Amino acid sequence: MEQLPKMSAADLKDVVKDGKTMLFFSATWCPDCAFIKPAMPDIEAEYPDFKFIAVDRDENIDLAAELNVFGIPSFIAFSNGDEIGRLVNKDRKTKAEVEEFINSLAANAD
């Protein structure tokens, strides 16, 4: 999974402008992030139409605030630069919950 360098929301627009992108906000100290991380390669493989990008919440604290990401792990999906969905809260997420979220985007992503 590609790692997002430190950037602003304005700079992020260039990263997510083409195709489908899924931002995965996490931090090294977060136990709920560590819980979902082992499932991420499988999730990425199941959804090849999305480009998955890891966002270190601590390194990108300003970006997280600009995007109203106040809990991790969290996911924000974009299609051609437009946000099409978010799974943003402080709760632990299972592989099934993340897959359900991505599946729910199908109607919004085209």
Count of residues making up the chain: 110
| Fold designation for 2-109 | Glutaredoxin (3.40.30)
Model confidence at 6: pLDDT above 60: yes
Residue with the bigger pLDDT between 90 and 40: it is: 40
Cα–Cα distances (Å) from 26 to 37, 39, 55, 59, 107, in that order, read 9, 14, 6, 10, 26
> Cα–chain-centroid distance for residue 56?
10
Burial tier of 12 (Cβ tally within 10 Å: 0-12, 13-18, 19+): buried
Model confidence at 67: pLDDT above 60: yes
**Could you tell me if 44 and 52 are in contact, meaning their C-beta atoms sit under 8 angstroms apart?**
yes
Model confidence at 106: pLDDT above 90: no
Per-residue model confidence (pLDDT) at position 90: 81
- pLDDT tens-place string over residues 14-57: 999 999 999 999 999 999 999 999 999 999 999 999 999 999 99
